[in-house]
Amino acid sequence: MPEVLDKNTIQQQIEDLDGWELEDNSITRTFEFQDFVTAMEFVNKLVEPAEAMQHHPDIEISYNTVRLSLTTHSEGGVTDNDFQLAGKINTLV
| Structural domains for the chain | 22-90 (3.30.1360.20)
Instruction: Report, in angstroms and rounded to the nearest whole number, the Rg of the chain calculated over CA atoms.
Output: 13
C-alpha span between 1 and 89 (Å, rounded): 22
pLDDT of residue 55: 95
Q: Average per-residue pLDDT in the chain?
A: 96
pLDDT of residue 78: 97
> What sign results for the dihedral spanned by CA atoms 38, 26, 79, 20?
positive
Q: What predicted TM-score, i.e. pTM, was given to this entire model?
A: 0.94
Over residues 27-80, the pLDDT tens digits come to: 999 999 999 999 999 999 999 999 999 999 999 999 999 999 999 999 999 999
pLDDT of residue 1: 73
- How many residues does this entry show for the chain? 93
